[in-house]
Copies of this chain bind each other. A is one copy, B any other.
Amino acid sequence: MTDIQTLHILNKSPDHPRAARCVEMMSAEDGLLLTGNGVLLLARGNLLPGASKVFALIPDVEARGLGDLSGNVSSVDFAEMVTLSLQAQRVISW
C-alpha cells in the first residue's frame, strides 16, 4: 500500500449529507475507506472521488450484495483496515 495523507472512514449512505461533505473535503493525497452503509457509494459510481484511493470493508460489501461492483476499488479486511489507519498521517471517522 502507498502513502495516504488523511484516511477518511465513511459509514454513512451516499444520501446522508455527511457523505457529500466527506468527499468534498478530501484531497488527491487522501484515502477513502468505506464501511457500513458507506459501501453503498460503490453503487453510485459517479459520486466516488476521482482522484483518491478508495477502499471498502469486505464484510460490509458482501452483506449489501455489492461484491461485483468494486471496479478499481480495493477490498480490505479488518487487518488491512488496521494497517491503513496506521499508514495514514491522520484518520477522520465521518
Closest-CB distance, A3 to chain B (whole angstroms): 33
Bound Cα distance from A17 to B20, whole angstroms: 12
A64 at the interface (CB under 8 A from B): no
- Report the nearest B residue to A16, measured CB to CB: B17
A24 at the interface (CB under 8 A from B): no
Bound Cα distance from A16 to B19, whole angstroms: 12
Closest-CB distance, A47 to chain B (whole angstroms): 14
Contacts of A16 in B (CB 8 A): 17
A68 at the interface (CB under 8 A from B): no
> Per-position contact with B for A5-23: 1 when CB-CB < 8 Å, else 0?
0000000000111000000
Can you list 3 pairs linking A and B with CB atoms under 8 Å apart?
Answer: A15-B17, A16-B17, A17-B17
3 shortest A-B CB distances, which residue pairs?
Answer: A15-B17, A16-B17, A17-B17
